[in-house]
Amino acid sequence: MKTAYFDTISGISGDMTLGAFISAGISIDELISELQKLKLKGFELSTHHVTRNGIVAVQIEVVIYEKPHYHRYLKDIETIIDKSDLSLRVKENSKKIFHEVAVAEAKVHNTSIDRVHFHEIGAIDSIVDIVGAAICLEKLDIQVVYSSPVKVGNGGTVNTQHGMLPVPTPATMEILRGYPIILTDVPFELTTPTGAAIVKALSQGVLTTEKIQVSSIGYGAGNREIGQLPNLFRILIGEIEPHYLSDEIVSIETNIDDMNPVIFPYIIEKLLAAGAQDAYLIPIVMKKGRPGILLSVLLERVKIYKILEIIFCETTTLGVRIQPVERKKLERTKKQVNTSFGVISVKVITVEGKKQLRAEFEECKRIALDKNMPLVEVYRILERELNS
């Protein structure tokens, strides 16, 4: 799965995000061409390379020819986006980012999101930064975003339309509420509301043990030198390996061609009752063209001798093959859930970071018998209820 990892070496802002994407391989001409679909006048992008602590990065600036003397509301910005010729994905991601800012500003100023005045965030440069980030994600075909804990400044002030505000600003902190952050000793605004909203709206969270095979790296530079650390934002782009649980079990197999087949179901029942994780039969053709059965059993190593005792006592085999088997499996737990059939036990399975609820067979069987319903209908109803 194509993944972008946002490494907030010294925070994140909108212009640093665009600079990192360009450094990672996005064509500036292609980005400008897409941004023109917004049909906004009076701006251009300026890019150049700078060095921060010996690392070459792209610094990008949105040059404004005519600064508007009015404020925008969320609906004004959404109208600009909706009336553009941008793709549906870019529009949706752009509006998600702006919505994060609107919710935070409304909270800070004790108003509704529809009445929030967008000051800096409503200016052309911020619209370009946010929509530009959404464009870059689409152009690189990035399916999922993760980040490091977001670094923010601590102490100091920043001059805004509301006057001097503490660092980190109230809007930035409100946006990052519930998201992992790192308070540094840098008395500057490392993470802006725009940067915070990009992370909060797009990221699936902080990477932990996942592995990513990096194919490209980009560095975006901030405007000032910071003594404590390089003023950079880094993007790593690559393929992420799915995070599966891992363990090792044992496989026991034997070929049987001289046993009454009516006995096999009994043997399978005994093996499962003795703790085998699975036991199954496969029809095979053996030497001299004789039909046979491959008996396979999967189990934990500590149960080998109990399972062998059953196989040797209950079958005609004279020997078995034993092999260790590495297993990858989805994370799973069990929980009680209230449904239209009452409280039932379900499996909670995590697939690519998303949780799915699946009804246990025995629960569905019980409901089907109690309600005199087709089993398939019980499954259909529960699947709809559990994952709606």
Instruction: For residue range 194-227, list pLDDT tens digits in order.
Output: 999 999 999 988 876 667 889 999 999 998 888 7
Same domain, 76 and 50: yes
The dihedrals phi and psi of 306, each to the nearest 5 degrees, come to: -65, -40
- Half-sphere exposure (Cβ direction) of 83: Cα atoms closer than 13 Å: 8
- Do 104 and 175 touch, CB atoms closer than 8 A? yes
Predicted pLDDT of residue 209:
65
Same domain, 181 and 74: yes
Low-confidence ranges of the chain (pLDDT < 50): 121
Phi-psi region of 178 (alpha: psi -120 to 50; beta: other; left: phi over 0): left
Same domain, 80 and 151: yes
Same domain, 127 and 200: yes
Same domain, 84 and 233: yes
CATH number at residue 266: 3.30.70.1380
Predicted pLDDT of residue 306:
96
The owner of tokens 């001289």 is 258
Range of the domain at 320: 245-328
Predicted pLDDT of residue 374:
95
Q: Is the peptide bond before 283 cis (omega within 30 degrees of 0)?
A: no
Going by C-alpha positions, the residue among 203, 235, 233 that lies closest to residue 10 is: 233
The whole-model pTM stands at: 0.67
The dihedrals phi and psi of 163, each to the nearest 5 degrees, come to: 100, -165
Measured between alpha carbons, how far is residue 238 from residues 25, 27, 213, 370 in Å?
Answer: 13, 18, 5, 51
Going by C-alpha positions, the residue among 291, 297, 287 that lies closest to residue 321 is: 297
* CA–CA distance, 277 with 293 (Å, rounded to integer): 19
Same domain, 214 and 82: yes
Task: Report the domain count for the chain.
Answer: 3
Start-end of H helices in 205-349: 264-273, 304-314
DSSP code for 223: S
Q: Angle, nearest 10°, between helix axes 74-82 and 124-139? A: 40
Predicted pLDDT of residue 43:
85
Q: Is the peptide bond before 168 cis (omega within 30 degrees of 0)?
A: yes
Instruction: For residue range 226-249, list pLDDT tens digits in order.
Output: 877 899 999 999 998 766 777 889
Same domain, 309 and 186: no
Same domain, 277 and 194: no
Predicted pLDDT of residue 327:
86
Predicted pLDDT of residue 312:
97
Cβ neighbors of 177 (< 8 A, separation 6 or more) are none
Q: Which of 241, 276, 310 is the last residue before a domain boundary?
A: 241
Same domain, 190 and 123: yes
Q: What's the alpha-carbon Rg for the chain, to the nearest Å?
A: 30
Same domain, 336 and 316: no
Q: Which of 328, 344, 372 is the last residue before a domain boundary?
A: 328
Same domain, 354 and 294: no
Same domain, 218 and 296: no
